[in-house]
Chains A and B, each alone.
Chain A
């Protein structure tokens, strides 16, 4: 192998050099592109942080007090989405992996993948015009009967376009990602141990508890984190579904909802000019940092899981 490109003929060497050079250049382009993303976001973002023009912060005192409710809303919506999506995704992956007959498992897998193919703007359209009005009576009921729980404090939104609805739409969007990762992890659990459990007289569920979940834990966590990364950055569905103000509240069903960073950028970019836009770019930088950390942790867990096993 080491002597393969030691051919003495110059023409061949030139071809090799060109080809290798192009490949390397493509790789380096990626380095430059990401460095560019960071640089330009910082260069264009800083003026939006240090500005004294109060319209840049929409009446708030500083960049921090402008961004904080958005960070809160971003995290809240993403957490709601994961709380809903994770059990569903694990269940769906279990069906496809262990419960469904083989003939049914493949089409079911395709259908879950189809969920990932639907563009987010279509989810937004569906969420705002169909899901939100259908959820509204439930919110009214929750506000009437369970208002002692802070999450359902009410009064219920009249349109149903609340952070909970946004969270449900986000859950549907991250579900296929988590399901795909769970399927992969479940498929990798050693058949040897699954059979050992069955041969001891375990029921199917006991087999899954004994010989599937213990292996899947780290992969499951990283899958959820990747879903979180996606949910944090999702823009259009939230922008279209949520009727947002800048409230910081845990009331999930009211008409006052925190917006998310991404949705806020999409919604207000057109109305803003000059340094006001720089402020939005700065919030985008904050979002970038948050998703970077989440994804970084997810990869770290995957890498550690691999080393451990």
Chain B
């Protein structure tokens, strides 16, 4: 069910301000692609265009094409709601719905599509999604407790469970570990490893070690100059990127000489 993503000639705007310029890239299915780069270079902005969350911000818009499998997600008559159901997203800070229990949090997306979910089906989805997020054994005895009662790392895995419960084809992760301690980070990274057998995963990270640990492919974003739009400098296999990058600025960034 995982699909690849083809991006061509993508320009991303906030109002009249061009934030990211001319991105061309193919993101492989069933693999982890990491996006790295200094703050403000547009990597999160780019990520949010892959499920049309970018346009939620007033005045934000894009030019260019993003093709998911064989469907252009910015094509005419495409429903952004459908796109977001197909491309799941995990945010920087864990955001389970505080008014819902763990159980209801996992089902939040499914309930939207199917009001009359059978109890047996619902139970099956919850167990499957929580197991998929490596959380089942930790929470199976307190499914009806509020999701906010969990630790930060557990909350983030709950959010991942919520995202995979609607069976997306792609999972986007926007710095999913930046608010977590090292142990929780390790748990989420393990999970990413397991998820890539089923999903196309795109992860934005500030942490280059993390990119090296979890991803097969890496894209490096950077500003052309201060005040200029961001762009994709280099896209390569992670192993190549971190040993012999093609661009000088990539090497400078990775070796810690700037950014």
Contacts and interface: CB of A to CB of B under 8 A. Distances in A.
Direct contact between A and B judged by beta carbons closer than 8 A: yes
B108 A200 contact: yes
Residue of B95, B159, B163 most packed against chain A (CB within 10 A): B95
Q: How large is the interface on B (under 10, 10 to 19, 20 to 34, 35 or more residues)?
A: 20 to 34
A214 interface: yes
Nearest to A202: B112
Contacts of A211: 97
A201 B109 contact: yes
Interface in B199-255: none
Interface string B79-112: 0011011101101010101110000000011001
Contact of B84 (A102, A193, A201, A210): A201
Contacts of B120: none
A193 B95 CA distance: 6
B84 A214 contact: no
B53 A206 contact: no
A101 B53 contact: no
Interface string A195-216: 1111111110010001100110
Contact of B112 (A193, A201, A214, A215): A201
Interface of A is mostly: helix
B112 A206 contact: yes
B137 interface: no
B97 A198 contact: no
Given A102-B59, A210-B108, A200 B95 contact: no
Contact of A200 (B58, B84, B93): B84
Contact of B97 (A102, A199, A203, A210): A210
Interface string A167-200: 0000000000000000000000010110111111
A186 to B, nearest CB: 14
B2 interface: no
A193 B108 CA distance: 12
Given A200-B112, A200-B163, A210-B97, A195 B81 contact: no
A97 to B, nearest CB: 11
Interface of A: 101-102, 190, 192-193, 195-203, 206, 210-211, 214-215
Interface of B: 51, 53, 56, 58-59, 81-82, 84-86, 88-89, 91, 93, 95, 97-99, 108-109, 112-113, 159, 162-163, 166
Given A195-B56, A201-B84, A203-B112, 19 more contacts: A101-B58, A102-B58, A193-B95, A196-B162, A197-B108, A198-B53, A198-B56, A199-B84, A200-B84, A200-B108, A201-B166, A202-B81, A202-B84, A202-B112, A206-B112, A210-B97, A214-B97, A214-B98, A215-B99
